[in-house]
Amino acid sequence: MSETVMNTNVVDFNERAKRILAQEPILSARHVEVTFSLRGKKLTAIRRTSLDLYEGETLAIVGESGSGKSVFTKCFVGMLDKNGSITNGSIMYEGEDLAKYTEKDWLKIRGKKIAMVTQDPMTSLNPLKTIGYQIRECVELHQGLKGREAKEEVYRILKAVGIPEPERRYKQYPHEFSGGMRQRVVIAIAVACRPQILICDEPTTALDVTIQAQILDLIRRLQKEQNMTIIYITHDLGVVANVADRVAVMYGGQIIEIGMANEVFFNPQHPYTWALLSALPQLGVKGEKLPAIDGTPPSLFNKIEGDAFAPRNKHALNIDFLEEPPTYEVTGTHTVKSWLHDPRAPKVEPPQAIKRLSEMDLTSKGTDPDAYHPHLDPNRETLIEVKNLQVTFGTGRRKFVAVDDVNFEIYKGETFALVGESGSGKTTIGRAIVRINPVTKGEVLFKGERISGKISREMDTKVIRSIQMIFQDPMASLNERAKVDYIVSEGLINYHLYKDDHDRQDKVRKALQEVGLLAEFSSRFPHEFSGGQRQRIGIARSLIMEPEFIVADEPISALDVSIRAQVLNLLNDLKKSRGLTYLFIAHDLSVVRFISDRIAVIHKGRIVELAEAEELFAHPLHPYTKALLSAVPNPNPYVERSKKLVVYDPSIHHYEKEKPQWVEILPDHFVYGNTPEIDGYRKELGQ
Amino acid sequence: MHTQETKKTVQEAEAPVVNKTVDYGKVDTNPDRERPMGRAYLKSRSQMPEEQLFAFAEYNAQEAEKIGYSNYSYWKSVWANFLKNKLAVILGIAFFLMFIFTFIASAIGKYDIYMAPDPMNRMYISPNKEFWFGTNAIGQDYWAQVWYATRASILLAVLVSLGQIALGVIIGLVWGYVRKLDRFFTELYNLIDNVPTIIYMTLIALMVGKTMLTMGIAMIAFGWLATARNVRNLVFMYRDREYNLASRCLGTKLGRILSRNIFPYLVSVIILRLALAIPMTIAYEVTLTYLGLMDIMVPSLGNLLSAASAVFPRAAYTLWFPAAIVSFISITFYLVGNAFSDACDPRNHV
């Protein structure tokens, strides 16, 4: 059976707060200002911000891209890019000012006392050297060990970070390790010298949720063993809730709020923190709009006057546009930079969603009375039908089956979600439907007509106009060398769907307005826009074809938290106003629960379970679904820290004796398993 | 929290300020100025009573949607960076002036290129006041000959290079983008590339003719290989990007994907290759003429050099003048091409 790992990291925040208040900081940054010179312009990435770090604590710094969270911590290890420098302030560590360090001075500190783990484990390892060599190099250099001793130490470290068979792994190269294993190696190298402070820059962003939980656990264990201070840099509030004692929120190059995790999550004071938390899909009510933050983060090229968040702040005061707010103390450990906290300011109640967060146990969630239940609707209309779909890549011995024997139907007007980890084949299915990936076996039907394989020219045109796709990475999915006008009207031009040029421009303008962009943006190039705006340009490009069905391939996973809500709301609005049907591909179950009507869980190219969203959350049957559900990050620190992690072990299936089948166990609840398994599932359901 | 009441306070709070803006005398009238975030008319704290300072400001969704990103233009940056390389700019201008000069030179000169009124007495006269560059073996004015040859060689080089690059880019785009044709073009490339080009050239010269036109076409026909392979490899980088998938989903035809989605990314490389192809073609033309594979009736730099080398070291000046021009063209294009390629690298746009 699958094993259950109990998370034993429930903390008493009050006790930690007392400990912190009694201590002297080990590192103290004061009024740090960092400027970069870029294309002849000055960019102030960090605007005079201060931070104290205490021994043994875990501090999480959250913020959107461009908020300066990475740059700020890079100052602590002297790893700023060449064109950037600390132009003001001090960073005191062990009686010395790190802000004045030269490259030579840094050699004493970097890696030995303050170490860093970065996001992408592939780029931080040398692909030409064995793992053992790379860790050993570090051990020899920093601990002065030689020969056998060094080798033994490497084995010990590999074991400590949870890599089995260290003797065999020692001789392997990075490409022979999986993403999670590679990140363990990077962590192993970072902690090999027993640093006092470890900075983890988005250590789990590139990893799947189930792996993510294991890596976080590992870091926590190492921290306890070596009494390290850890700084996490992340945009994922679930990770923050899981690991942080203290949380710092950054915006526009400043820490705008800092406090113990329970203070920041349950009693946030800054309107930006409010907005950030309430934009979480986990806190959203299905069928209602998510409270999104409009607009985009400020450009740091411009001088920022007053509160950087003011233009996007619905509670902004006049003074927010004029003067930078001072830092107000809420409690001994909790400070906030917002004029709203001034005694003269009017009282503003934090939004509802914040209250929901403190009450929340995400297991029971109000059901939407308007929710669409396809299996209860006798008039449901099948839009897409996927039958025994198989997609393979490569030929001969290098043949790889990406997707095998996949069956599902998508009904008109629903949002059908496909959830799985990276490499599970979810994107392949989406691309097979829009006919980018050729189908090896089986077929795809659209309104009862086959659209896979060879089809007639009229059918081809019809399919292209009715089925569109939204892509994952808004940076890669727009042609950088074409104006927005051309990008949006590309489909129109291909099929000449306009009377004259005036009519075409009119359609572009309407499409841009429909996705909440200004019509005058059409004369600009994509690089002038932020990620969320670019994603909306991509949506406008699909909408202009007036499709009935849209394949949305992880449309929000590359976006910042504050932007995600904008795009989710837009997709929901369009679904209502245009009667669209979506295939929503995602890896994040919390997002999927908010947006979709039915969810299919896919593992290694096979769909293992398919049910209505709430039904799946209420009665998950397949062990893999259970594992995925248990790993869903929760923004409530207490819930997140006490969650039980279920690890899925595929060897529990005994399919060699009895072949598994795709069984409808309840109306519209399908699961993949053989007879004994199905009987077990039935028992679970009390049948 | 946008209730009716807060809206009212907003209006009350802002109305007097708006009226007073006239008095400040500093109202910004230039709409294009980059403003800091916030309201233009709110200049400083002193202009507002304290109770208004802490009133809610009006929320403006348009303000929030404002583009917060820099107005960076790729080609503007390329141009600005190129202009920083003074030597390349000066050489580029000098080359341009020299090319124009090849048209006026014959008007300035005293003799026509073919005129040789007294060939026997004018053979190999060293440069003097009468014959600025001296005379050649049959007593023709070398000044006129050199400039005419320069013009002819440059024109030939430019046309041949354009032809080679155009053919190479088109083949390279299709080769790189259409997977089914990859095998065909790879084999074709290997077939042509494995035989030294000089053998093809010899065969064509001997069988078809040695005129400048035939040899020019032959140079194009065998000169696209390197460009095509380079372009093909570059197309691989862009082929599988999501924006191309998006275009396919929108039903964009192959030709349009190549011209609008891929080609614009290659422009910098293409210009660089063109810049380097021009001196190469001149050098190639010199080689061909030297090997006797090209017509010697029309003066070209290749003709002059091969004639001069035959009598060297006698009348060494007949070698120095065309050699200097060939060197100048090669160095200029090499430096300008490199400066341009540096300017095209976005990493240098700092």
**B350: which chain A residues are within 8 Å (Cβ-Cβ)?**
37-39, 83
A510: contact with B, CB 8 A cutoff: no
B76: contact with A, CB 8 A cutoff: no
Contact A600, A586 (CB under 8 A): no
What is residue A599's three-state secondary structure?
A: strand
Measured between CB atoms, which of A37, A299, A476 is closest to B242?
A: A476
- Please, which residues 12-51 of chain A have a Cβ atom closer than 8 Å to chain B? 37-39, 41
The whole-number pLDDT of residue B119 equals 62
A299: contact with B, CB 8 A cutoff: yes
The whole-number pLDDT of residue A88 equals 92
Taking the mean position of all CA atoms in its chain, how far away is CA A240?
12
Q: What is the mean pLDDT of residues B178-191?
A: 93
B240 falls in which pLDDT band (50, 70, 90)? Answer: confident
Taken in order A542, A565, A73, A44, the sign of the CA dihedral is positive
A348: contact with B, CB 8 A cutoff: yes
What is the distance between the alpha carbons of residues B136 and B146, in angstroms, rounded to a whole number? 10
Beta bridge mates, A52: A28
In total, the C-beta contacts within 8 angstroms joining chain A to chain B are 189
B23: contact with A, CB 8 A cutoff: no
Lowest mean pLDDT among A262-271, A364-373, A431-440: A364-373
Contact B151, B160 (CB under 8 A): no
What is the distance between the alpha carbons of residues B340 and B82, in angstroms, rounded to a whole number? 6
Q: Order of strands, edge to edge, in the sheet holding A84-93?
A: A41-53, A27-38, A84-93, A96-97
Separation in Å, CA A614 to CA A361, A375, A411: 15, 14, 17
Lowest mean pLDDT among A201-205, A463-467, B2-6: B2-6
Average pLDDT, chain A: 87
Reported as a single tens digit per residue, the pLDDT across A103-113 is: 899 988 888 89
Residue type, A331: T
Residue A544 tokens read as 């202009």
Cβ <8 Å between B38 and A310: yes
For an interface test with A, the pick among B53, B78, B83, B259 (most A C-beta atoms closer than 10 Å) comes out as: B53
What is the distance between the alpha carbons of residues A30 and A25, in angstroms, rounded to a whole number? 12
**A345: which chain B residues are within 8 Å (Cβ-Cβ)?**
54
As a residue count, chain B comes to 350
B264: contact with A, CB 8 A cutoff: yes
pTM of the model: 0.82
**A296: which chain B residues are within 8 Å (Cβ-Cβ)?**
64-69
The whole-number pLDDT of residue B254 equals 93
**A350: which chain B residues are within 8 Å (Cβ-Cβ)?**
none
Measured between CB atoms, which of B2, B13, B250 is closest to A545?
A: B250
Which domains are seen in chain B, by residue range?
A: 4-65 (no CATH), 74-348 (1.10.3720.10)
Q: Tokens 């993510």 identify what position?
A: A212
Flag whether pLDDT at A404 surpasses 50. yes
Taken in order A100, A103, A107, A113, the sign of the CA dihedral is positive
What is the distance between the alpha carbons of residues A556 and A561, in angstroms, rounded to a whole number? 9
Flag whether pLDDT at A431 surpasses 90. yes
Flag whether pLDDT at A79 surpasses 50. yes
The whole-number pLDDT of residue B118 equals 66
**A308: which chain B residues are within 8 Å (Cβ-Cβ)?**
37
**Which of A78-82, A140-144, B20-24 ranks highest by mean pLDDT?**
A78-82
The whole-number pLDDT of residue B22 equals 30
Q: What is the mean pLDDT of residues A403-409?
A: 92
Cβ <8 Å between A349 and B45: no
What is residue A43's three-state secondary structure?
A: strand
Q: Which percentage of chain A shows pLDDT scores above 70?
A: 96
Lowest mean pLDDT among A272-281, A348-357, B144-153: A348-357
B30 falls in which pLDDT band (50, 70, 90)? Answer: very low
Task: For residue B185, give every residue at least 6 positions away whose Cβ sits within 8 Å of its Cβ, in sequence order, or none.
Answer: B171, B174, B175, B228, B232
Flag whether pLDDT at A123 surpasses 70. yes
DSSP A110: B
Average pLDDT, chain B: 79
Residue with the larger pLDDT of the pair B119 and A561: A561
Residue with the larger pLDDT of the pair B326 and A530: B326
Cβ <8 Å between A346 and B55: yes
- Please, which residues 42-61 of chain B have a Cβ atom closer than 8 Å to chain A? 42, 44-45, 48, 50-57, 59-61
The whole-number pLDDT of residue B210 equals 84
Flag whether pLDDT at B295 surpasses 60. yes
Residue with the larger pLDDT of the pair B72 and B223: B223
The whole-number pLDDT of residue A636 equals 86
B8: contact with A, CB 8 A cutoff: no
Residue of A576, A597, A602 whose CA lies nearest to A587: A602
A352: contact with B, CB 8 A cutoff: no
B4 falls in which pLDDT band (50, 70, 90)? Answer: very low
Q: What is the mean pLDDT of residues A665-676?
A: 90
Flag whether pLDDT at A656 surpasses 60. yes
Q: What is the mean pLDDT of residues B175-203?
A: 92
Separation in Å, CA A425 to CA A37, A404, A605, A621, B82: 43, 9, 5, 21, 47
Q: How far is A43 from chain B (nearest CA, A)?
A: 11
Q: What is the mean pLDDT of residues B266-271?
A: 87
Residue A522 tokens read as 């059409």
A298: contact with B, CB 8 A cutoff: yes
Residue A62 tokens read as 């959250």
Flag whether pLDDT at B350 surpasses 50. yes
DSSP B119: G
Dmax (CA) of chain A = 79
Contact A467, A551 (CB under 8 A): yes
Cβ <8 Å between B53 and A322: yes
Reported as a single tens digit per residue, the pLDDT across A627-646 is: 888 888 888 888 888 888 88
Residue A467 tokens read as 């089925």
Reported as a single tens digit per residue, the pLDDT across B306-339 is: 888 888 777 788 888 889 999 999 999 989 988 9
Flag whether pLDDT at A7 surpasses 60. no
Contact B91, A324 (CB under 8 A): no
B2: contact with A, CB 8 A cutoff: yes
Run of H or E residues at A302: none
A308: contact with B, CB 8 A cutoff: yes
Contact A239, A60 (CB under 8 A): yes
The whole-number pLDDT of residue A255 equals 95
Task: For residue B77, give every residue at least 6 positions away whose Cβ sits within 8 Å of its Cβ, in sequence order, or none.
Answer: A39, B343, B346, B349
Residue of A602, A620, A571 whose CA lies nearest to A417: A602
Which domains are seen in chain A, by residue range?
A: 11-113+195-353 (3.40.50.300), 374-613 (3.40.50.300)
Q: What is the mean pLDDT of residues B89-107?
A: 90
Q: How far is B193 from chain A (nearest CA, A)?
A: 29
- Please, which residues 545-604 of chain A have a Cβ atom closer than 8 Å to chain B? 545
The whole-number pLDDT of residue B327 equals 92
Q: What is the mean pLDDT of residues A611-620?
A: 90
Contact A150, A139 (CB under 8 A): yes
Residue type, A440: T
What is residue B152's three-state secondary structure?
A: helix
Lowest mean pLDDT among A86-95, A558-567, A571-580: A558-567
Residue of A73, A59, A68, A61 whose CA lies nearest to A114: A73
Reported as a single tens digit per residue, the pLDDT across B211-220 is: 888 889 999 9
Beta bridge mates, A350: none
Cβ <8 Å between B64 and A344: no
What is the distance between the alpha carbons of residues B163 and B167, in angstroms, rounded to a whole number? 6
Q: What is the mean pLDDT of residues A363-378?
A: 61
Can you give the three-state secondary structure of A487-542, one letter per residue? HHHHHHHHHCCCCCHHHHHHHHHHHHHHCCCCHHHHHCCHHHCCHHHHHHHHHHHH
Residue with the larger pLDDT of the pair B311 and A501: A501
